Amino acid sequence: MQYRTLGRTGVQVSSLALGAMNFGRIGRTTQDEATALVDAALEGGINVIDTADAYSGGESEEMVGKAVAGRRDDIVLATKAYLPMGDERNHRGSSRRWLVTALDNSLRRLGVDHVDLYQIHRWDPATSDEETLSALTDLQRAGKIRYFGSSTFPAHRIVQAQWAAREHHLGRYVTEQPGYSILQRGIETHVLPVTEEYGLGVLAWSPLASGWLSGAIREGREVTTSRSAFMPERFDTAVPANRAKLDAVERLAEVADEAGLTMIQLALGFVTAHPAVTGALIGPRTLDHLRSQLAAADTVLSADVLDAIDTIVPPGTDLAPDEKHDTPPSLLDPALRRR
């Protein structure tokens, strides 16, 4: 396992981090299975566990808390807030009112008195940066969080938040958690240059592109991954973007074979090769999944392999732009771009 400094925090983190989105009903995992995954991840050198309040309605945090009991100090523990937690209209977002409550709820579910990294799951256009950063700064000073970061923020919002922190003399985001894979490289255009400029640590989610780069999805095979069961539209090869992904996967498989690598090693090695990326978040559902991903922990891709990847999916290219989560609202809602 490789270890890197998380931005400018001085905290040493593993280049692979364990994402716990599949803990609970989303991944249909039991507590025993979740604990076994945590045990194996720690044994394999992973020291970062990332979850969120919204994962399975808090069930993921509860499972993580039970799995790390008695060894909390050995783990860089991260969670998130912003997504709806029920039907109440104020039980979501990044207002001070909600973040104070949401963090207390997360700490209770995790069974801890603080988290190392507290992340705003998405940019909240209804809440000012000053409001959110002020609340996070107070929670940090209270000892409930050590650091705070953003997740899937557009580049211009990352910049704006840095300037708001400076202008109002508040704590700042020290990490960003964007989606990033060989098939979705758009963040190379704007987000990663910004995180480098401001010295943010980057924990990339979905490095296997929702299973497209796991080796399980190939031409002529029926797609039977767990993700395809509840997001079938993202795996229907009649959709042009999905067809483009499958075509790229076939060519990438040839590159992996020639290099003596698995598709997982190629995919994770690509993400962790970028100098702006601190680590890649893996989200295994089973021990077999985890072992196959841990096998990529020390993978270093040669320049020739990286060049070959660039010819298949050019730098800065998203093969499925409609699947991005950091698109400005005005591009999605016509009413926001009409007078």
228-276 confidence digits (pLDDT tens):
667 778 888 889 999 999 999 999 999 999 999 999 999 999 999 999 9
Please confirm, yes or no, whether 198 is among the known catalytic residues: no
274-293 confidence digits (pLDDT tens):
999 999 999 999 999 999 99
Q: How would you classify the pairing of strands 115-120 and 76-81?
A: parallel
pLDDT (0 to 100) of residue 37: 98
1-29 confidence digits (pLDDT tens):
999 999 999 999 999 999 999 999 988 99
pLDDT above 90: residue 296: yes
pLDDT above 80: residue 125: yes
62-92 confidence digits (pLDDT tens):
999 999 999 999 999 999 999 999 999 999 9
Q: With bands split at pLDDT 50, 70 and 90, how would you rate the model's confidence at 188?
A: very high
163 versus 234: the higher-pLDDT residue is 163
pLDDT (0 to 100) of residue 223: 74
Helix and strand element counts for the chain (H, E)? 12, 10
pLDDT (0 to 100) of residue 33: 97
Q: Do 300 and 225 touch, CB atoms closer than 8 A? A: no
DSSP state string for 20-58: -TTSSTTTT--HHHHHHHHHHHHHTT--EEE--TTGGGG
> Among 81-90, 148-157, 199-208, 329-338, where is mean pLDDT lowest?
329-338
pLDDT (0 to 100) of residue 104: 98
Q: With bands split at pLDDT 50, 70 and 90, how would you rate the model's confidence at 194?
A: very high
pLDDT above 90: residue 191: yes
pLDDT (0 to 100) of residue 150: 98
End-to-end CA gap in the chain: 54
Of the candidates 3, 55, 118, 173, the residue annotated as catalytic is: 55
Of 141, 17, 138, which Cα lies nearest the Cα of 77?
A: 17
* Residue 137: how many other CB atoms lie within 10 Å: 18
302-319 confidence digits (pLDDT tens):
999 999 999 999 999 999
DSSP state string for 113-145: S-EEEEEESS--TTS-HHHHHHHHHHHHHTTSE
DSSP state string for 161-201: HHHHHHHTT-----EEE-B--SSB-GGGTTHHHHHHHHT-E
- Mean pLDDT score of the chain: 95
Of 150, 163, 131, which Cα lies nearest the Cα of 78?
A: 150
pLDDT (0 to 100) of residue 222: 76
pTM: 0.94
pLDDT (0 to 100) of residue 238: 86
pLDDT above 90: residue 322: no
100-121 confidence digits (pLDDT tens):
999 999 999 999 999 999 999 9
- Say how far apart CA 22 and CA 190 lie, in whole Å: 29
pLDDT above 80: residue 328: no
pLDDT (0 to 100) of residue 219: 84
